[in-house]
Chains A and B, each alone.
Chain A
Amino acid sequence: MIEVANLSKRFGSTLAVDGLSFAVEPGRVTGFLGPNGSGKSTTMRMILGLDHPTRGTATINGRAYGAIRRPLHEVGSLLDAKAMHGGRSAYHHLLCVAQSNGISRRRVGEVLDLVGLSSVARKRARGFSLGMGQRLGIATALLGDPAVLMFDEPVNGLDPEGILWIRTLLRALAAEGRTVFVSSHLMSEMALTADHLVVIGRGRLIADCSTAELVASSSQSYVHVKTPDVDKLVAALTAVGADVTEVDQSLRVTGIDSAVVGEVAAREGAVLHELILRQPSLEAAFMELTRDTVEFGGAESVEIGA
């Protein structure tokens, strides 16, 4: 369980994180979304005690990161693929990190196997591809078998096979009851991986809801209807409170769900050729949300769904 309360970070005149509050629950994958520069990495760095908050607190299982006695046994983190010395072999990178927290050499071998780097364990990390670097970073995070995991852009630089591997790993870790907090700018990836989303823009909370709710709440979701009985159906749908617009000889219905549209059509005896619930991709929903923060820079955070 990660809790962030009224967290702010100021760099000079820039407020990178502005009064952020949210909680990351165990047992599910929580996606952390926001445009570049929205404060995701800064927030993660404050949770890990690397940056000092200007105001507010970030705690893991109720304690500040610096107060955790064996951090790697409680929290595993991957901030970027380069948080290692390129001159050191994968094995020695993992070994020195393990030793600092009293973790055995056997566990180093286990995590190397787990991420598929055993065959290059003695090679220096400098020669690793970005994807191999990510795998080594994930191995580092898993060393202490922690209950809380934080990954900043873990699929960055991975090939499709690697992306699938990460997705499966993240879901498996959450299924074991762990807290999994993953930032990404790849909304489509989060749609497949995350159960819950925390969306920020300009350092402020925009949404804290399930992935499904974020998609459903978008103003871009509507029921697409094609019918030869346009006038009859429009009148009937409007009468039950729907907003109907005519686009390219089809109707775009919002305000009521697709089942109601079908029931109204049946009652009126209107013939339907098409009845489709159109939902935007998570990407589109996200763009819509963050566009709003850009347009209305000082707007209050929006409570979505729930």
Chain B
Amino acid sequence: MAVPVTIGVPNVLVSEWTKLRSLRSTYWTAIVAVIVAVGIAILGCTSFVRHFAPSDLDGFDAANFSVQGLYAAQILLGALGVLTITGEYATGMIRTTLTSVPQRRSMLLMKGAVFAAAALALGEIASFGAFAVGQAILHGKGAGVSLADHNVLRVVIGGGLYIAVVGLLAFGLGALVRRTAGALATFFAVLFLPSALIDLLPSSWHDTVMKYAPANAGTQILNIQHQHNMLTAWNGLGVLALYAAAIIGLAVYLIGRRDA
């Protein structure tokens, strides 16, 4: 039997891909994420068209309007990211994983890479699906835009990127916290608490927190126009990616030190 001399990156990537695709929960989460993104586009755009008045077009961001469902889909991507790693701790699979691949830090990075690829593919399907369906409805009133219009492609591609990065942030939190409930709670806190608690903060912090809170920074990519007092589209997504990278980096450091 031809066997490699040592465990290689391809071995671990293939193994992690098998793990991801062999769980029904992966498919359910993925399907529901796309249904939510496209469904909200249908509901929102249909309602817009039905109650349409020409004045509605003033400052209307048709691209952004059609991908509003990504705000809901990001929660599903987050749950998938958390479960990808906490599912191993909850079931005991982690012991099999770590005895098969004792290079823990590489293993976690490979697992994250496989999840990132899957999350990006899923995110783009959800984003492009929602955009296509939404614009088809909006075109009825001449309110639609096309991918060739200014910044539209950036919004649609960025929408998939955004929820993939949110998924990665959740993956990092899952690896850090290791328990499903705790990791999900932390994920929701990171995503939603800054805007919920903004009024409790001193007003001098107000602008900075609004600007750099993970969700606020990341979602700038979904706007055609730059928003006042907010980061630019790509800088915002970059800041969100830095949060995700920092959390994953900490998790990678700790997995080598902690008992499994």
Which of the residues B5, B24, B88 comes within 8 Å of A69, measured between beta carbons?
B5
Decide yes or no whether B140 CB sits under 8 A from chain A. Answer: no
A69: chain B residues within 8 A (beta carbon): 5-7
Choose among A45, A73, A95 the residue that contacts B18 (Cβ–Cβ < 8 A): A95
Question: Closest residue to A79 on the B side, CB-wise?
Answer: B95
CA distance A84 to B24 in the complex (A): 15
What residues on A are CB-neighbors of B260 within 8 Å? 45, 50-51
Which of B4, B97, B259 contacts A102 (CB under 8 A)? B4
CB within 8 A of B15: which of A77, A84, A100? A100
8 Å CB interface, B212-260 against A: 257, 259-260
| B12 in contact with A87 (CB, 8 Å) | no
Asked if B101 is at the interface (CB within 8 A of a chain A CB), the reply is yes
B121 near A: Cβ within 8 Å? no
Which residues of B are found within 8 Å of A72, using beta-carbon distances?
A: 99-100
Contacting residues, chain B, for A86 (C-beta < 8 A)? 91
Interface residues as binary, A135-172 with B (CB distance below 8 Å gives 1, 0 otherwise): 00000100000000000000000000000000000000
Contact assessment for B5 and A96 in the assembled complex, using a CB-CB cutoff below 8 Å: no
- The reply to whether the CB of B202 lies closer than 8 angstroms to some CB of chain A is no
Residue of A nearest to B23 (CB): A87
Taking CB as reference atom, which chain B residue is nearest A89?
B22
Within 8 A of B (CB), among A84-121: 84-89, 92, 95-97, 99-104, 107
Docked Cα-Cα span, A51 to B98, in Å, equals 11
Contacts of B16 on A, CB cut-off 8 Å? 96
B47 within 8 A of A: no
- If over half of A's interface residues share one DSSP class (helix, strand or loop), that class is named, otherwise mixed; here it is loop
- B8: chain A residues within 8 A (beta carbon): 102
Whether B96 and A140, one on each chain, are in contact in the complex, defined by CB atoms closer than 8 angstroms, is yes
User: B9 CB to closest chain A CB, in angstroms?
Assistant: 11
Q: A48-B99, A71-B100, A100-B100 are in contact. Are A82 and B7 (CB under 8 A)?
A: no
Q: How far is the CA of A302 from the CA of B22 in the complex (A)?
A: 51
Partner of A100, one of B1, B12, B88: B12
Contact A87 B100 (CB under 8 A): no
- With a cutoff of 8 Å between Cβ atoms, the chain A residues found around residue B257 in the complex are 52
Measured in the bound complex, the distance between the Cα atoms of B5 and A88 in whole Å is 28
Chain B residues near A65 (CB-CB < 8 A): 99, 102
Partner of B91, one of A68, A71, A82: A82
A-side interface residues, number (CB < 8 Å): 38
Which of B12, B24, B92, B96 gathers most chain A CB within 10 Å? B96
Partner of B3, one of A73, A84, A88: A73
Whether A305 sits at the interface, judged by CB under 8 Å, is no
* CB-CB contacts below 8 Å: A43-65 with B: 45, 48-52, 65
A91 vs chain B, min Cβ distance (A): 9
A49 lies within 8 A of B102 (CB):
yes
Contacts A66-B102, A102-B4, A102-B7: A88 and B96 contacting too (C-beta < 8 A)? no
Residues of A within 8 A of B208 (CB): none
Is B39 part of the binding interface, using a Cβ–Cβ cutoff of 8 Å? no
Contact A85 B3 (CB under 8 A): no
Residue B11 interfacial (CB < 8 Å): yes
B25 at the A interface (CB under 8 A): yes
In the complex the two chains form, is A100's CB within 8 Å of B11's CB? yes
What separation, in Å, do the CA atoms of A170 and B14 have in the docked complex? 32
A101 near B7 with CB under 8 A, answer yes
**CB atoms of A50 and B99 under 8 A apart:** yes
A304 CB–B CB distance under 8 Å: no
Q: Is the C-beta of B194 less than 8 angstroms from some C-beta in chain A?
A: no
Distance between Cα atoms of A98 and B232 in the complex (Å)? 46
Q: Which of A52, A86, A101, A140 has the most CB of B within 10 A?
A: A101
Give 16 A-B contacts (CB < 8 Å), ordered by A residue: A45-B260, A49-B98, A50-B98, A50-B259, A70-B4, A71-B102, A73-B3, A80-B95, A83-B92, A83-B93, A84-B91, A87-B24, A87-B25, A87-B87, A96-B19, A97-B15
